[in-house]
Amino acid sequence: MAYLNQHLNVRALLAGLALAVIGAICFALIIWAQNDTKDLIGKNRNAAEMHLIEQLLPPEHFGTDLQLDCRLLSDPRIGRNMKLITARKNGTIKGYILQYSTARGYSNPLILAASFDADKSLYRADIQFSRETPGIGDKVDRRHGTYLDALQGKNLNNANWDVKKFGGDFAYFTGATVTSRAVILASRDALSVLNEIDPSTLTRCRIRN
The per-residue pLDDT for range 93-113, each reduced to its tens digit, is 999 999 999 988 777 788 999
Please compute the mean of the pLDDT values over residues 156-185 and round it to a whole number: 92
188 pLDDT more than 70: yes
Inter-residue long-range contacts of 54-60, CB under 8 Å, 24+ positions, other chains counted: 55/124, 55/126, 56/97, 56/113, 56/114, 56/115, 56/123, 56/124, 56/126, 57/87, 57/95, 57/97, 57/115, 58/124
Name the average pLDDT for the chain. 82
More confident: 177 or 28: 177
- pLDDT tens for 1-10 read 555 456 556 5
User: 135 vs 112, 132, 165, 174, 186, CA distance in Å?
Assistant: 19, 9, 21, 12, 21
> Is it the case that residue 115 has pLDDT exceeding 50?
yes
pLDDT at 129 over 80: no
Phi and psi based region of residue 181 (left: phi greater than 0; alpha: psi -120 to 50; beta: remaining): alpha
pLDDT at position 39 is 47
Count of CA atoms in the C-beta half-sphere (13 A) of 31: 6
> pTM score, two decimals?
0.75
Which pLDDT does position 179 carry in this prediction? 87
Q: Residue 29 has what pLDDT? A: 61
Domain boundaries, the chain: 1-56, 58-205
Instruction: Decide if pLDDT at 145 tops 50.
Output: yes
CA-closest candidate to residue 111, choices 86, 90, 82, 137: 82
- Alpha-carbon distance of 147 to 153, in angstroms, equals 14
61 or 207: which leads in pLDDT: 61
Could you give the CA distance from residue 106 to residue 104 in angstroms, rounded to a whole number?
A: 7
